[in-house]
């Protein structure tokens, strides 16, 4: 991999900073060369005038996307100033149902799908919980953002890699996991500590957890931020028990949203997202580091948000309520296509065993 040093400006609402960047000439998954498919993509989370080129791997069995200039590790903190993981506010989940009724349906759904506290859930509640799963956005939110598709195992050890402010960890602990999190962002970790969560500063390689320590490992929208994903995944395999499982969620480069919006697809998110996987490249990278029983599928989690932002950026228009309607309609279409076996969801879900 060839690197050259460049400079760019990264600006957010609080300050303007300068950070150095390095050239990335080869695919992080298969080491093939790539070609630019999107030029001068802006950082939509800042006021910066800087832009980045997105390349696509030339290997047809890979097709990973990546930014060809990324911040050097020592300057990484600059691009995360004001990032959502440093937000102390928990994003509320809006529902048209009264809170207690929504919780009743949720308990039934968790019992039906994940066997969570099933002894305390009656037949009717279980049935209504399964029925409530027809609410597309609600189901995707619970499965991905709260459960990570893992059946709770009370008291079992779980590691949340890139835990940020602990938003996911709160749900996992509530479901019975004995969870610990790690993240290099000290500002985000302060929020997690204030919530009473067990978190450590650093990345997988620097903390050096004991061998075979964890029953499960979660990485919720983290892998796309990594400099060396294979090294991190290898470390995950080392600290995971022989019967353990890893659950990863990340944007899907072969989604309906990217097809519709191209360079305006929100999950490209330069310069924070270094690369974007798809089903083929995700399978390749996990199998190469020794994982087995790899299951990969897509879902519509946050799809309405990505579609709404995509159409706003594509048309260069400020928000209008019609954009929300557009996002919901597109999410419904995407969900229907997934049901038909066409895996073009916005989020990639990867489950694998050691």
Can you read off the two tokens belonging to residue 153? 């195992």
In the structure, what pLDDT confidence band is assigned to residue 124 with cuts at 50, 70 and 90?
confident
pLDDT, position 140: 86
Instruction: Supply the DSSP symbol for 3.
Output: -
- 91: pLDDT strictly greater than 90: no
Task: Report the alpha-carbon distance of residue 277 to residue 100 in Å, rounded.
Answer: 39
Q: To the nearest whole percent, how much of the chain has pLDDT over 70?
A: 87
List pLDDT tens digits, range 145-197.
999 999 988 889 999 999 999 999 999 999 999 999 999 999 899 999 999 99
CB neighbour list of residue 324: distance below 8 Å, 6 or more residues apart: 304, 308
Percentage of residues in the chain having pLDDT higher than 90 = 66
Q: Specify the DSSP element, H or E, that contains 239.
A: helix 229-239
Mean pLDDT of 203-216: 94
Residue 181 has what pLDDT?
A: 97
| Least confident window among 6-10, 129-133, 172-176, 201-205 | 6-10
Confidence of residue 93 (pLDDT cuts 50, 70, 90): very low
Residues in a beta bridge with 56: 35, 65
Q: Is the pLDDT of residue 294 over 50?
A: yes
For the chain, strand residue ranges (E) read 5-11, 16-23, 34-42, 51-57, 65-67, 69-71, 157-161, 178-183, 199-201, 214-220, 240-251, 275-276, 292-299, 347-353
Identify whether the C-beta of residue 293 lies closer than 8 Å to the C-beta of residue 352.
yes
Which positions ≥6 away from 206 have C-beta within 8 Å?
none
Give the predicted TM-score (pTM) of the model: 0.90
Query: At residue 8, does pLDDT exceed 60?
Result: no
Token code pair at residue 194: 């204030």
| Per-residue pLDDT tens over the stretch 243-286 | 999 999 999 999 999 999 999 999 999 999 999 999 999 999 99
Res 195: pLDDT: 92
pLDDT at 304: 94
> Are the C-beta atoms of 299 and 274 separated by less than 8 Å?
no
Place of tokens 């919720």: 220
Mean confidence (pLDDT) of the chain = 88
The pLDDT confidence band at residue 88, using thresholds 50, 70 and 90, is low
Mean pLDDT value across residues 51-68: 96
Q: Quick count: other Cβ atoms within 10 Å of Cβ 224?
A: 23
Instruction: Name the residue with higher pLDDT: 108 or 132.
Output: 108
Mean pLDDT score, 94-105: 67
């Amino acid at each position: 991999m060839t690197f050259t040093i460049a400079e760019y400006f990264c600006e957010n609402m609080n300050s303007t900073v300068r950070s150095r960047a390095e050239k990335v000439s080869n695919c992080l998954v298969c080491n093939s060369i790539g070609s630019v498919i999107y030029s001068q993509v802006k950082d939509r989370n800042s006021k910066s005038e800087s832009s980045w080129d997105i390349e696509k791997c030339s290997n047809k069995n890979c097709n990973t996307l990546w930014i060809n200039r990324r911040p050097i590790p020592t300057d990484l903190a600059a691009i995360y100033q004001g990032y959502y993981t440093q937000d102390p506010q928990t994003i509320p989940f809006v529902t048209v149902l009264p809170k207690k009724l929504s919780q009743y349906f949720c308990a039934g759904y968790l019992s039906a799908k994940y066997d969570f506290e099933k002894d305390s859930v009656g037949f009717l509640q279980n049935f209504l919980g399964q029925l409530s799963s027809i609410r597309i956005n609600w189901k995707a939110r619970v499965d991905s953002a709260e459960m990570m598709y893992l059946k709770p195992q009370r008291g079992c050890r779980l590691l949340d890699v890139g835990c940020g402010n602990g938003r996911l960890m709160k749900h996992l602990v509530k479901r019975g996991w004995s969870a610990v999190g790690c993240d290099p962002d000290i500002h985000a970790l302060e929020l997690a500590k204030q919530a009473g969560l067990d978190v450590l500063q650093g990345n997988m390689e620097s903390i050096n957890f004991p061998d075979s320590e964890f029953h499960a490992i979660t990485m919720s929208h983290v892998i796309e931020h990594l400099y060396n994903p294979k090294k991190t995944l290898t470390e995950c395999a080392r600290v995971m028990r022989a019967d353990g499982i890893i659950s990863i969620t990340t944007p899907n480069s072969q989604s309906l949203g990217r097809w519709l919006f191209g360079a305006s697809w929100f999950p490209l998110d330069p310069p924070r997202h270094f690369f974007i996987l798809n089903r083929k490249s995700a399978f390749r990278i996990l199998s190469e580091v020794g994982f087995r029983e790899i299951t990969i599928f897509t879902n519509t989690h946050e799809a309405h948000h990505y579609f709404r932002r995509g159409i706003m950026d594509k048309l260069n228009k400020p928000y209008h309520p019609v954009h929300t309607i557009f996002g919901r309609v597109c999410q419904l279409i995407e969900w229907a296509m997934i049901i038909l076996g066409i895996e073009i969801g916005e989020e990639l879900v990867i489950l694998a065993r050691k």
